[in-house]
Homo-oligomer: A and B are copies of this chain.
Amino acid sequence: MSETLSVTGLVATTPRHLVTQDGLPITSFRLASSQRRFDRTQNKWIDGETNWFTVTAFRQLAINSAGSINKGDRLVVAGKLRVRDWDNGERAGTSVEVEADSLGHDLTWGSSVFTRTVLVRE
């Protein structure tokens, strides 16, 4: 079973869009998810710590994301979690990635005008 999760947060970098030599469109950006929690000593909701993710989209979702998403936007993302160790010879670390199955602008924070581009599968 792969770990599926949903993440809401703020787009923290300008989305990067590329097409591989095989013709696969990919869009990726960093997402900051700040967690609100109820503080019982203060009796109010406060900002908790922030989870940082690299969000990656492929194919049609990559194309539409590249054309619709800007740094500073608020999103809701559903996808699969990938935790990977990396080592480039000079440095090593851990990357935390969400491979998006779906994503959209979070209407908690604004309104959106939607234009359908995909007409298949219905």
Interface class of chain A by DSSP:
strand
B104 touches A64 (CB 8 A): no
The number of times this chain is found in the oligomer is 4
A residues contacting the other copy or chain, number (CB 8 A): 65
Chain B positions within 8 Å of A96 at CB level: 83, 94, 96
What residue of chain B has the Cβ atom nearest to residue A85's Cβ?
A: B52
A116 touches which one: B6, B43, B110, B115 (CB < 8 A)?
A: B110
A64 touches B6 (CB 8 A): no
A68 touches B6 (CB 8 A): no
How far apart are A28's CB and chain B's nearest CB, in angstroms? 14
A78 touches which one: B1, B38, B82 (CB < 8 A)?
A: B1
Interchain residue pairs A-B with the least CB separation, the first 5? A104-B104, A6-B6, A6-B78, A110-B116, A76-B102
**With contacts A104-B104, A104-B105, A104-B112 known, what are 4 further pairs, Cβ within 8 A?**
A3-B5, A53-B83, A103-B106, A110-B115
